[in-house]
Amino acid sequence: MSRQLRIAIIGHRFMGRAHSNGWLQAAKFFDLPAQPVLALACGRDADATRAFADNWGWEETTGDWREAVARDDIDIVDIASPTHLHRDMAVAAAAAGKHLFCEKPFALDAAQAAEMLAAAKAAGVVGYLNHNYRRCPAVRLAKQLVDSGELGRIYHWRGSYQQDWLADPETPMRWQLKQEFAGGGPHIDLGSHGIDLARYLVGEVAAVTCTQANFVKERPLPGGGGGEVTVDDASIMSLEFESGALGSLEVTRYATGRKNRNAFEIYGSEGAVCFDLERMNELQFFSKCDPATQQGFRTVLATDPGHDYAGRWWPPGHIIGYEHPFAHAAADFIDAVCDGPPITPDFADGLACMQVLDAANRSAREGRRVEVG
Amino acid sequence: MSRQLRIAIIGHRFMGRAHSNGWLQAAKFFDLPAQPVLALACGRDADATRAFADNWGWEETTGDWREAVARDDIDIVDIASPTHLHRDMAVAAAAAGKHLFCEKPFALDAAQAAEMLAAAKAAGVVGYLNHNYRRCPAVRLAKQLVDSGELGRIYHWRGSYQQDWLADPETPMRWQLKQEFAGGGPHIDLGSHGIDLARYLVGEVAAVTCTQANFVKERPLPGGGGGEVTVDDASIMSLEFESGALGSLEVTRYATGRKNRNAFEIYGSEGAVCFDLERMNELQFFSKCDPATQQGFRTVLATDPGHDYAGRWWPPGHIIGYEHPFAHAAADFIDAVCDGPPITPDFADGLACMQVLDAANRSAREGRRVEVG
Amino acid sequence: MSRQLRIAIIGHRFMGRAHSNGWLQAAKFFDLPAQPVLALACGRDADATRAFADNWGWEETTGDWREAVARDDIDIVDIASPTHLHRDMAVAAAAAGKHLFCEKPFALDAAQAAEMLAAAKAAGVVGYLNHNYRRCPAVRLAKQLVDSGELGRIYHWRGSYQQDWLADPETPMRWQLKQEFAGGGPHIDLGSHGIDLARYLVGEVAAVTCTQANFVKERPLPGGGGGEVTVDDASIMSLEFESGALGSLEVTRYATGRKNRNAFEIYGSEGAVCFDLERMNELQFFSKCDPATQQGFRTVLATDPGHDYAGRWWPPGHIIGYEHPFAHAAADFIDAVCDGPPITPDFADGLACMQVLDAANRSAREGRRVEVG
Amino acid sequence: MSRQLRIAIIGHRFMGRAHSNGWLQAAKFFDLPAQPVLALACGRDADATRAFADNWGWEETTGDWREAVARDDIDIVDIASPTHLHRDMAVAAAAAGKHLFCEKPFALDAAQAAEMLAAAKAAGVVGYLNHNYRRCPAVRLAKQLVDSGELGRIYHWRGSYQQDWLADPETPMRWQLKQEFAGGGPHIDLGSHGIDLARYLVGEVAAVTCTQANFVKERPLPGGGGGEVTVDDASIMSLEFESGALGSLEVTRYATGRKNRNAFEIYGSEGAVCFDLERMNELQFFSKCDPATQQGFRTVLATDPGHDYAGRWWPPGHIIGYEHPFAHAAADFIDAVCDGPPITPDFADGLACMQVLDAANRSAREGRRVEVG
């Protein structure tokens, strides 16, 4: 592994940590064609960025992301910043010929997404969009069951992503509740995960109908007074897939008791699968191939060597956690950069996902069904 | 218990059996103010009706429902026939002064429902609509938690009623797949249960947006050839409640592996509950009153003496089955006829429920949000 | 169904109700070769016996069980009385040529059980011991999976029967806590169920090792003061089956939160099953025949027409409750009396079960492993 | 964090990886009073040891553990070797004044354990025994509920540790099946975990009764022919705690379908908890403080900031995996070495645990109850 890939990361909070850990763990648990080097950490708060770099082993820090993405000694730009910055960073980094590891949500809207895709294409770089849940072993098993035909013709996708951190009206205002920074509420933050999984597992969405709610219109500001919430609080979509399958997706930050429940059910003519991120090592699988009196949803613990990625970690029955799919993504990304198989979801997926979400927003505003694209 | 209430039942199939059992078990497990007498069974197939009557102890049989509902020696008419006959039967029986125990779905549409309600009102009779799931002890517990404020302000209703008996495209045609007999597919058959529970637990629906699908357009006829399916196969609704709560409801007969999964989740600012009919003795309850590190969904087994109806049956931990809520309804109905507390859902609920379903049908047809009523 | 079988029941409390309901429901939901007639109810409290008879339709009552079991117009004696009376009743009824439907626990000890078996054999009557849980459809499915070899060689039985009604030390004294009336605590009351299921599903027990506990030695008497508890409060057994399988069984009335959890796990070389009475319609089944990455415990909802007894009740997904296996037993018993297939568990099973429990009691007393029989 | 603690690890397989990862992750996710330095990796296979060291960043390698534990530049010896080597390594390392991080099972028997404890005591070093499951956040929550009295008087411990990797009789022989290397089968390998948890959560064991089985006596050797299995295949213990509580523990490698199910149930007069390692982020908790009709086992997802260790990782609802408790142990160990709170389980716990397991082995051999110690 003499080849090295030098990474610049932008962002040092939750996603900065998760990405840093992903790069490091990928190097330890996977056989990589190149060594990821944590070269440069970029953040506006110099002290925090320094502490972050020290903790994770980033060699240098900088406060200027434009300089960072342009440096000659950088191969990969890891965008772990708030959503409203993604477009400029991705476009600049692509222009500088850097491979792109971009956190979700991809962009504020489909127009930005299209710019990002165009930039990556023009530069011929790898553009990866980090919808990390595609790389849970249990989700990969679902994908295999769909693709192999074991579920038969797909009739239904039923997705939800439920959190509860806004259920208390006194929870204070933060940047995620402002349209200009976040691009939307759970519709985009959680909905992008849901649409990505729906597209990954069932296919393209032809039309969407959406209803949104805003339960709490003003929230306390840290310094006193109230700030207006300018994003949705919850969003319910019905999805008409090109295949004829019917889907639903419900996302919210007001589902008391659900901390991080990214769940889906897929029903086909021959079988069904269900997934819940809070039990992310498990896939529920129902098969009509089983004898009639023995049919039932089986709980597959996706920790066997035969499950994607699982053999890299621990013996069967020893579960992995939230951060492991980041390492899977890091490993696959490095493979892709080193001329291995292309990695998805890519920037084209990012555009397609944003187009569905944009159409859904339009549907909610106008109270009517909207065709995608 | 010297007073007797003489019942005429119309219908002798699935619901005929479930109702007969309900009347008989109510008399054995409840202290009733009057004795239900299984007086008259009415059906078009004389032999089958006779066998049904013999099995359950109905004193007489007849093939003429109009005569049945008019007889002087009948106090209660139990309508357990296909949906398209409900209106005429209910109107005639009400006109004859009979109390009405009517199976769901209430009617083919809201117009019929309005006629039925008017007839019952004019006659001053008890009109009960048998949405039996309201009387599961676990559902009653959910109702108490909502009404007591223990869930706080309700944000979300997430309902589904999933079956799978049509997932195989070769399953033959039957009357439930014809609009003129059934009034619709799962939208009305299962959706009426879902809307009834939503209204019971969360309140009135102000607007609805609906998407429907028809996956299999033709099904084999028993005698050969194919028959056209004229009802929906699946329906997804988003519900805007008058209270500001946001709801969803998904009904289908194509959810492979789900036999009879009538499920709901309710999320409020202070707690949440979840129910699944396939585990109908259980209610999942989450309370923010629990200490922070001890919060979680608890599985309440609703078999304790303090749970509604439960003390009538067996000791704690000894579960009841599908048919028991019919006995609960029979007992409450007899109470209501004997000047006890009014019983719900009543015919006004039936109209309200049909109005939501009608509005949703319109929404699906026109591809737009529709206000109810 | 012109033939009639006239029943005398002894006991009118919990089991009197459950048996009465069983006879009546069997007649309505099964095609029986003879009609069970609720002829005679027998109890010491005349008023309570009268009320019981009125409620359930028993034609006559009596306070004298010896007269009852001797009457010429009685075909079946249903013993639903406390354990300490079973032996005398069964022996007398057998001597009078009556078929015997006997509630569990079978007897106070193996010596009584042997007398009962001898009496039934000598009289040539049907002797049924009501271990009702054998007739849950899910338990029958477990039996089929074992017998068909789908579980392979059985290694492990892991059983438990947990209740919690004594977890509070202030719960008052009652007859079940006195050795002379009950023959023991949960060791016999719940343990007899566990041993019956273990023998049914895995086979004969060759040796047993047992540890028992008595957590609360004195309990309040209704009239004041305290009464000594003379039975065990909990019992843990390890079972060495003749087949070489290893078993465990744990029974208690002190498992806070467990209302009626009669659970078992069976592990074989090819698969495994798990059952829990609190979810009695479900069987968990794991099969090594599934592809490696698709293996998992599947939840089979035993409500399909192919499941034993299930087709008699409701459509798939409509669950049954605690009392239904009593109806299954009543139906099978009537078949057996009418020269249908023999019914088990029979009195020989009752003796075998008591021999294991007696050996376990000896093991607990003497602190050593004891061979059975 | 200028202070450094230099570690020598012995062993480079499964536990070598898990420990290496634990040290590294502790340094990244915890605020440590000293920096762990991966100084020296020791193993008999030079190439494998070199590759292991390269992967994890161990500075040097050696093939001689005696030299390793004696080096002046080493502060901590991490024993991750097979059981039969633990005693000599620990005694030598303690004599050299090294702090000891020792993998379980502690030793081949209590006699070895006593030597190890004496050596650590004499040297005044920190001796930690890595029963890692004590440091699952959910297990810590169980501990808090016991210690706070929220479960009341403890009546029952019901433990099991079930795996299935030997359920197939054709699985080949390996060193874990030889008494001289492993000290026993699942009795010691899994049983040591179970006894450690039982002692941690319920207290000391006064007496034990044990039954063991050996299902497959010979297994194929890699080179052909068969090798004799000289350890137990399964072990069932009943535990009499000093407190009067009654316990059971069942361990096996033949529980088909259970990959790594380390589970326990604790029942007290006021509440109960249940844990299953395959869902290691969850604790089931039942409280009698809940209103009567609202009681049930609640599933607490132990990922909130208030749960021990959880706040170090990710936001609520983002689960951790098998390896995280190793990092918790590494962090606590470093604290202890730096004069922070003492760490348990320590070598005294190791001795106590082995005494119970030895007594149980004697019980199984002699077919009688054995008092511990």
Q: What is the second-level CATH architecture of the domain A135-322+330-366?
A: 2-Layer Sandwich (3.30)
Q: Which residue has the tokens 């949440």?
A: B272
Continuous H helices in C311-346: 324-337
Q: Which residue has the tokens 């706040």?
A: D311
Contact A300 C285 (CB under 8 A): no
Q: Which residue has the tokens 């737009």?
A: B368
Q: Which residue of C has its CA nearest to A294?
A: C300
CATH 3.30.360.10 residue window(s) in chain B = 135-314+345-366
Chain C hits for A316, CB-CB cut-off 8 Å, are none
Q: Which of C256, C278, C307 to mutate to test the interface with B (most CBs of B within 10 A)?
A: C278
Q: Which of B166, B369, B370, B372 to mutate to test the interface with A (most CBs of A within 10 A)?
A: B369
CATH class of D4-132: alpha beta
CATH 3.40.50.720 residue window(s) in chain D = 4-132
- Residue B13, SS3? coil
- Taking the C-alpha atoms of residue D263 and residue D133, their distance in angstroms, rounded to an integer, is 11
Return the pLDDT at B373. 81
Nearest to A294 among C293, C295, C300 (CB): C300
Does the interface ipTM go beyond 0.95?
yes
Greatest distance between any 2 Cα atoms in chain A: 65
CATH 3.40.50.720 residue window(s) in chain B = 4-133
Continuous H helices in chain B: 14-29, 46-56, 65-70, 86-95, 110-123, 137-147, 179-182, 186-189, 191-201, 324-337, 347-366
Type of residue numbered B116: M
Nearest to C300 among A296, A300, A306 (CB): A296
Return the pLDDT at B223. 85
Burial class of residue B243, CB neighbours in 10 A (0-12, 13-18, 19+):
middle
Q: Is D134-318+345-366 a domain of CATH 3.65.10.10?
A: no
Contact B250 A296 (CB under 8 A): no
Contact D163 A317 (CB under 8 A): yes
User: Among positive and negative, which fits the CA dihedral B54, B60, B66, B72?
Assistant: negative
Q: pLDDT tens digits for C100-121? A: 999 999 999 999 999 999 999 9
User: Among positive and negative, which fits the CA dihedral C105, C107, C111, C112?
Assistant: negative
- Taking the C-alpha atoms of residue A184 and residue A355, their distance in angstroms, rounded to an integer, is 14
Q: Which residue has the tokens 């009789």?
A: D169
Q: Which residue of B has its CA nearest to D294?
A: B300
User: Does residue C285 sit at the A interface (CB-CB below 8 Å)?
Assistant: yes
Could you tell me what percentage of chain A is helix, strand and coil, using 3-state DSSP and rounding each to the nearest 5?
40, 25, 35
- Taking the C-alpha atoms of residue C282 and residue A222, their distance in angstroms, rounded to an integer, is 51
Burial class of residue B341, CB neighbours in 10 A (0-12, 13-18, 19+):
exposed
- Taking the C-alpha atoms of residue B22 and residue B38, their distance in angstroms, rounded to an integer, is 11
Q: How far is CA A214 from CA A161, A218, C44, D360, in A?
A: 17, 10, 67, 62
Nearest to A317 among D21, D55, D278 (CB): D278
- Taking the C-alpha atoms of residue D343 and residue D338, their distance in angstroms, rounded to an integer, is 11
- Structural contact between residues C49 and C43, judged by C-beta atoms closer than 8 angstroms: yes
Interchain CB contacts (distance < 8 Å): A and B: 132
Q: Which residue of B has its CA nearest to A246?
A: B213
Instruction: Please report, to the nearest 10 degrees, the dihedral formed by the alpha carbons of residues B277, B281, B283, B289 taken in order.
Output: 170
Q: Give residue B326's Cα distance to chain centre.
A: 10
Contact C257 D295 (CB under 8 A): yes
Q: Give residue A315's Cα distance to chain centre.
A: 27
Q: pLDDT tens digits for C232-251? A: 999 999 999 999 999 999 99
Nearest to A252 among B156, B270, B271 (CB): B156
Mind listing the pLDDT tens digit of every residue in chain B (373 residues)? 579 999 999 999 999 999 999 999 999 999 999 999 999 999 999 999 999 999 999 999 999 999 999 999 999 999 999 999 999 999 999 999 999 999 999 999 999 999 999 999 999 999 999 999 999 999 999 999 999 999 999 999 999 999 999 999 999 999 999 999 999 999 999 999 999 999 999 999 999 999 999 999 999 998 889 999 999 999 999 999 999 999 999 999 999 999 999 999 999 999 999 999 999 999 999 999 999 999 999 999 999 999 999 999 999 999 999 999 999 999 999 999 999 999 999 999 999 999 999 999 999 999 999 999 8
Residues 249-268 of B with CB under 8 A from C: 258-261
pLDDT higher than threshold 60 for residue A238: yes
DSSP letters along C176-223, please?
A: GG-HHHHSSSHHHHTHHHHHHHHHHHT--EEEEEEEEE-S--EEE-TT
- Taking the C-alpha atoms of residue D261 and residue D277, their distance in angstroms, rounded to an integer, is 6
Nearest to B288 among A215, A250, A256 (CB): A256
Cut 0.90: pTM above it: yes
Contact C259 B316 (CB under 8 A): yes
Nearest to B238 among A160, A167, A236 (CB): A236
For residue B188, the distance in angstroms to the closest alpha carbon of chain C comes to 19
User: Does residue C288 sit at the D interface (CB-CB below 8 Å)?
Assistant: yes
User: Among positive and negative, which fits the CA dihedral C54, C59, C60, C66?
Assistant: negative
Q: What is the second-level CATH architecture of the domain C134-366?
A: 2-Layer Sandwich (3.30)
- Taking the C-alpha atoms of residue B251 and residue A3, their distance in angstroms, rounded to an integer, is 55
Contact D319 A322 (CB under 8 A): yes
- Residue A21, SS3? helix
Type of residue numbered C299: T
User: Does residue A209 sit at the B interface (CB-CB below 8 Å)?
Assistant: yes
pLDDT higher than threshold 60 for residue C268: yes
- Residue C35, SS3? strand
Return the pLDDT at A2. 76
- Structural contact between residues D256 and C295, judged by C-beta atoms closer than 8 angstroms: no
DSSP letters along D275-317, please?
A: EEGGGTTEEEEEETTS-GGG--EEEEE--STTSTTGGGSSSTT
- What are phi and psi for residue B243, nearest 5 degrees? -75, -10
Contact B321 C324 (CB under 8 A): yes
Among C165, C176, C171, C194, CA closest to C232: C176
Nearest to C272 among D244, D256, D270 (CB): D256
Q: Give residue A254's Cα distance to chain centre.
A: 20
Return the pLDDT at C222. 85
* Kind plus residue range of the DSSP H or E element containing D51: helix D46-56
List subunits contacting chain B, requiring 3 or more Cβ pairs under 8 Å.
A, C, D
Return the pLDDT at C373. 82
Return the pLDDT at C126. 98
- Structural contact between residues B58 and B79, judged by C-beta atoms closer than 8 angstroms: no
Q: Give residue D225's Cα distance to chain centre.
A: 34
Span A216-236, average pLDDT: 95
- Structural contact between residues A159 and A197, judged by C-beta atoms closer than 8 angstroms: yes
Q: Which residue of A has its CA nearest to B246?
A: A213
For residue C311, give both structure tokens.
Answer: 């087709």
Return the pLDDT at D222. 84
Among A204, A186, A206, CA closest to A262: A186
For residue B240, give both structure tokens.
Answer: 């805007």
- Structural contact between residues B242 and B207, judged by C-beta atoms closer than 8 angstroms: no
User: Does residue B309 sit at the D interface (CB-CB below 8 Å)?
Assistant: no
User: Does residue C269 sit at the D interface (CB-CB below 8 Å)?
Assistant: yes
For residue D261, the distance in angstroms to the closest alpha carbon of chain B comes to 22
For residue A148, give both structure tokens.
Answer: 């192999």
Q: Which of B146, B275, B288, B294 to mutate to test the interface with D (most CBs of D within 10 A)?
A: B294
DSSP letters along A214-279, please?
A: -S--EEE-TTSSEEE--S-SEEEEEEEETTS-EEEEEEES--TT-SSEEEEEEEESSEEEEEEGGG
Q: Regarding the domain with residue range A4-133, which homologous superfamily does it belong to in the CATH classification?
A: NAD(P)-binding Rossmann-like Domain (3.40.50.720)
- Taking the C-alpha atoms of residue A44 and residue A10, their distance in angstroms, rounded to an integer, is 9
Return the pLDDT at D2. 76
- Taking the C-alpha atoms of residue A89 and residue A112, their distance in angstroms, rounded to an integer, is 11
Nearest to B303 among C258, C259, C304 (CB): C259
DSSP code for A173: P
User: Among positive and negative, which fits the CA dihedral A314, A318, A323, A328?
Assistant: positive
Continuous H helices in chain C: 14-29, 46-56, 65-70, 86-95, 110-123, 137-147, 179-182, 186-189, 191-201, 324-337, 347-366
Return the pLDDT at A93. 98
CA-only gyration radius of chain B, Å: 21
For residue A42, give both structure tokens.
Answer: 């970029």
Given 1.10.150.530, 3.30.1360.20, 3.40.190.10, 3.30.360.10, which CATH number is that of B135-314+345-366? 3.30.360.10
Band (A306; pLDDT cuts 50, 70, 90): very high
For residue C243, give both structure tokens.
Answer: 């087949």
User: Does residue A307 sit at the C interface (CB-CB below 8 Å)?
Assistant: yes
User: Does residue D367 sit at the C interface (CB-CB below 8 Å)?
Assistant: yes
- Taking the C-alpha atoms of residue D123 and residue D117, their distance in angstroms, rounded to an integer, is 10
Residue numbers of chain D with a pLDDT score lower than 50: none
Band (C299; pLDDT cuts 50, 70, 90): very high
Contact C269 D211 (CB under 8 A): no
User: Does residue C315 sit at the A interface (CB-CB below 8 Å)?
Assistant: no
